[in-house]
């Protein structure tokens, strides 16, 4: 259960503690949850940023039970009257880590703020990229130049840091990306979306590896604002009403070259339900534990192979003569 608290002195601080690292499926059609009315309804295992100020309750769930997808929106937190508006816009965030926001207010107007995401999930794979579908809406009523920002990163070790309020954080995104003492950044990638996307469009983010080491953790951050990438210590500059809707998040692997095979053109797109390949031919499939034990075999059918991958566990998958070391989210 996430906790949050409000300090009604010179500042407001909203913080979400971590809970289960598992979520039901990459297509978001599994379980969703609420947090006692204080947190948006969100897919289990993913963590959204929200607060208890007026106007930010509700669900980020788009679609229906059989075809759901998160809508990540920048929402005004505060009150709007005829003579005075008090409050600020909260960036919409959905992450495998834990988002948090600190706002130092002056008469309930943001004077300066800090924002980040702590942690992620255990993950020891080395995918070449992540893929997902996205829609994006840039609200015409906002005079702030903003854009959606998506970040993926993998690391090992652990970094400690503090925000501008003095609060402590473990594996906060900016500290991991900076390679603060204790953390080794192994790979990362990012994407900015600043033009409207009216219907779901396939997107991908290539991961640039700077180390040959095996990661221990991974995080993906979907944000409807680019404020998270800038983190200026000044009033929140976030475009109200901008939203990012996502679906079908997956990780993609290239051949590892095990058993002297090299096929960089063949790709496996892995979800918890199985994998697809970018090849229409019928090919034999064998799946092994890392100790070499055979656990499954069959044929790729219509570019798709069904297998219940356990999240975070490494498998050796052989498709034809190409060999892959894979790990599902």
pLDDT for residue 81: 64
Supply angle C-alpha 133, 139, 143, rounded to 5.
Answer: 135
Residue 103 pLDDT greater than 60, yes or no:
yes
* SS3 per residue for 75-122: EEEEEECCCCEEEEEECCEEECCEEEEEEEEECCEEEEEEEEEECCEE
Distance CA 115, CA 169 (A): 11
Instruction: Give me the mean pLDDT over the 28-49 stretch.
Output: 74
Q: pTM for this one?
A: 0.85
Q: Looking at the predicted structure, is the pLDDT value of residue 247 above 80?
A: yes
Residue matched to tokens 């100790």:
291
Cα 209 to Cα 127, 189, 273, distances in angstroms:
10, 9, 26
What is the arithmetic mean of pLDDT over 71-97?
80
**What is the chain's mean pLDDT, rounded?**
81
Check whether 119 has a pLDDT greater than 90: yes
pLDDT at 1: 28
pLDDT at 7 over 50: no
Q: Which residue has the higher pLDDT, 257 or 61?
A: 61
Poorest-confidence range of 73-82, 178-187, 194-203, 253-262?
Answer: 253-262
Q: How confident is the model at residue 48 (pLDDT cuts 50, 70, 90)?
A: confident
Place 8 in a pLDDT band, splitting at 50, 70 and 90. very low
Average pLDDT over residues 17-44: 61
Q: Pick 299 or 90 by higher pLDDT.
A: 299
Q: Which residue has the tokens 């979520």?
A: 23
* pLDDT tens-digit readout, 129-151: 999 999 999 988 767 889 999 99
169: exposed, middle or buried (Cβ count in 10 Å: 0-12, 13-18, 19+): buried
Q: Is the pLDDT score of 202 beyond 80?
A: yes
* Contact between residue 77 and residue 56 where contact means Cβ atoms under 8 Å apart: yes
Residues 277-329 have pLDDT tens digits of 988 888 899 999 999 999 999 999 888 899 999 988 999 999 988 999 999 98
pLDDT score of 264:
52
Angle, CA of 62, 74 and 148, to the nearest 5°? 85
CA 170/CA 155 separation, integer angstroms:
13
Identify the pLDDT of residue 280. 81
**pLDDT exceeds 70 at position 56:** no
What local confidence, expressed as pLDDT, does residue 3 receive?
29
């Amino acid at each position: 259960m996430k906790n949050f608290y409000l300090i009604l002195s010179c500042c407001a601080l909203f913080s979400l503690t971590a809970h289960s690292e598992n979520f039901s499926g990459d297509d978001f059609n599994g379980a969703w949850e609420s947090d006692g009315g204080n947190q948006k309804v969100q897919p289990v295992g993913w963590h959204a940023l929200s607060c208890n100020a007026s106007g930010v309750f509700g669900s980020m769930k788009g679609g229906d039970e059989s075809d759901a997808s998160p809508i990540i929106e920048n929402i005004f937190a505060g009150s709007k009257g005829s003579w005075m508006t008090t409050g600020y816009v909260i960036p919409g965030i959905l992450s495998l880590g834990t988002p948090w926001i600190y706002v130092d207010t002056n008469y309930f107007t943001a004077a300066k703020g800090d924002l980040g995401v702590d942690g992620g999930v255990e993950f020891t794979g080395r995918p070449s990229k992540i893929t997902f579908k996205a829609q994006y809406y840039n609200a015409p009523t906002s005079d702030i130049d903003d854009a959606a920002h998506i970040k993926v990163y993998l690391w090992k070790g652990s970094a400690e840091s503090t925000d501008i309020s003095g609060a402590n954080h473990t594996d906060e995104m900016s500290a991991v990306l900076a390679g603060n003492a204790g953390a080794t950044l192994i790979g990362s990638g990012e994407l900015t979306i600043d033009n409207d996307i009216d219907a779901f469009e396939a997107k991908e983010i290539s991961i640039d590896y700077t180390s040959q080491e095996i990661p221990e953790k991974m995080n993906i951050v979907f944000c409807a604002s680019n404020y998270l990438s800038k983190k200026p210590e000044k009033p929140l500059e976030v475009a109200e009403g901008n939203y990012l809707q996502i679906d079908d998040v997956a990780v993609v692997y290239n051949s590892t070259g095990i058993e002297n095979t090299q096929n960089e053109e063949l790709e496996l797109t892995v979800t918890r339900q199985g994998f697809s390949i970018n090849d229409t031919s019928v090919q034999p499939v064998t799946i092994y534990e890392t100790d070499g034990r055979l656990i499954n075999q069959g044929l790729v059918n219509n570019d798709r192979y069904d297998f219940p991958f356990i999240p975070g566990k490494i498998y050796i998958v052989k498709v034809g003569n190409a060999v892959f070391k894979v790990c599902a989210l």
